[in-house]
Amino acid sequence: MSSVQIGINFAYIISAIMFIIGLKMLSSPVTARRGNLLSALGMLLAIVVTLFAQGLDYKWIILGIVIGSVIGIITAYKVAMTSMPEMVALFNGFGGLSSLLVAWAEYYQYPDMSVFIATVAALSVFIGGVTFTGSMIAFGKLNGSIPSKAVIFKGQHIINAAFLLIIIVATGLFAMDAAATYWVFLIIVAVALAFGVTSVIPIGGADMPVVISLLNSYSGLAACAAGFVISNNILIVAGALVGASGIVLTKIMCKAMNRSLANVLFSGFGSTTHAASGDGPQGETRPASAEDVYYILEAADSVAFVPGYGLAVAQAQHVTKELGDLLEANGTEVMYAIHPVAGRMPGHMNVLLAEANVPYDQLVEMDDINPRMESIDVCVVIGANDVVNPAAIQDENSPIYGMPIIETFRAKTVIVLKRSMNPGFAGIQNALFYAENTRMYFGDAKSSLQALVAEFKSGN
Partner 1 sequence: MEAVFLTFVFVLTIFLGFELISKVPSTLHTPLMSGSNAISGITLIGALATLKTEHTNFAIALGTLAVIFATINVVGGYAVTDRMLEMFKKKDKGGAK
Distance CA 387, CA 17 (A): 39
Give me the least distance between CB of 94 and partner 1, in Å please. 4
Nearer to partner 1, 67 or 152 (CB): 67
- Residue 419: burial class (beta carbons within 10 Å; 0-12, 13-18, 19+): middle
CA 274 to chain centre: 26
Give me the least distance between CB of 83 and partner 1, in Å please. 10
Give me the least distance between CB of 366 and partner 1, in Å please. 9
Contact of 379 with 306, CB cutoff 8 Å? yes
Distance CA 88, CA 133 (A): 14
* Size (the chain), residues: 460
CB burial string 115-130: b at 16+ within 10 A, e below: eebbbbbbbbbbbbbb
- Residue 444: burial class (beta carbons within 10 Å; 0-12, 13-18, 19+): middle
Nearer to partner 1, 94 or 442 (CB): 94
Cross-strand partners of 334: 303
Cross-strand partners of 413: 378
Nearer to partner 1, 23 or 166 (CB): 23
Nearer to partner 1, 68 or 283 (CB): 68
Q: What is the DSSP string of 91-136?
A: HHHHHHHHHHHHHHHHHHH-----HHHHHHHHHHHHHHHHHHHHHH
Nearer to partner 1, 108 or 153 (CB): 108
Nearest to 406 by CA among 362, 449, 360, 371: 371
Distance CA 32, CA 23 (A): 8
What single-letter DSSP state applies at residue 275? G
Catalytic annotation present for 367: no
Give me the least distance between CB of 224 and partner 1, in Å please. 6
Give me the least distance between CB of 336 and partner 1, in Å please. 10
**What 3-state DSSP class applies to 316?**
coil
Nearer to partner 1, 87 or 184 (CB): 87
Nearer to partner 1, 86 or 431 (CB): 86
What single-letter DSSP state applies at residue 439? E
Give me the least distance between CB of 81 and partner 1, in Å please. 7
| Helix or strand run (H / E) with residue 24 | helix 3-25
Which of 207, 279, 292, 386 is catalytic? The answer is 386
Give me the least distance between CB of 219 and partner 1, in Å please. 4
Where in the sequence numbering do the catalytic residues fall? 386
